[in-house]
Amino acid sequence: MARLKGKIAIITGAAQGMGASHARRFVAEGAKVILTDLNEEKGTALASELGGNALFVKHNVTNAEEWADVVAKAEEKFGPVNVLVNNAGITMAKSILETTEQEYRRIVDINQVSVFLGLKTVIPSMQKAGGGSIINISSINGLVGGAVGYTDTKFAVRGMTKAAAMECSHYGIRVNSVHPGVIATPMVVQEDTKAAVEEFAKHIPLKRVAQPEEVTNIVLYLASDESSYSTGSEFIVDGGLTAM
């Protein structure tokens, strides 16, 4: 059964990693998907692989005008949007004393302001569609402490999700956050971090890192009508880390 039949979705940061996993599964489940990313080469290749139900748009998620362009292209190609996955984000692992103001503002723009812009731009399209589902990708560092900048912004995404869920409920729009732990994405398993990740995995209750598809399973559920009574909630995919 196509669990996303009739859904029109925007997925940011979709050229690789978790975003690419979400895009592949969404198309396989019957959705029409707009993939956005700054990596034009990989994004275009993935959209080509996925066929006529996928469209790639190069997109700086910190730019309001580019958000408007993405939504306009989505509506022109497929119709009003009823699923948004705010997946784009960056990590930073510096101490407070080492972090410059410029670095801090950059991570806030990419991880936090982009989510606000996505909400603000997509909600009117969802109103035209008669409702929808917004999935904001936070982190377990939106629940527990971690590096400055990254933790701050992921907590903000969690709070923004709850505020938006309350505001959008009467539009028939649901808003939830997903909180992954350590996921085997290119950013995490690159050669200079691979050994540290493998060592850390020994301390995860399930004794391994997750595959991107394991996060996709939760995102798919939230995008589908199966989660019709879930809004303003956190969905954790961390192998038990935050249960310790």
**Catalytic residue list:** 150
Q: 132: burial class by Cβ within 10 Å (0-12, 13-18, 19+)?
A: buried
- Nearest alpha carbon to residue 129 among 2, 10, 3: 10
Count the Cβ atoms, other than its own, within 10 Å of residue 53: 16
- CB–CB of 225/83 below 8 Å? no
Count the Cβ atoms, other than its own, within 10 Å of residue 103: 14
- CB–CB of 83/31 below 8 Å? yes
The residues pairing with 11 across neighbouring beta strands, listed in sequence order, are: 35, 85
User: Residue 199 corresponds to which tokens in the numbers above?
Assistant: 């060592």
| DSSP alpha helix (H) spans, the chain | 17-28, 40-50, 64-77, 101-108, 114-129, 150-168, 191-201, 212-223
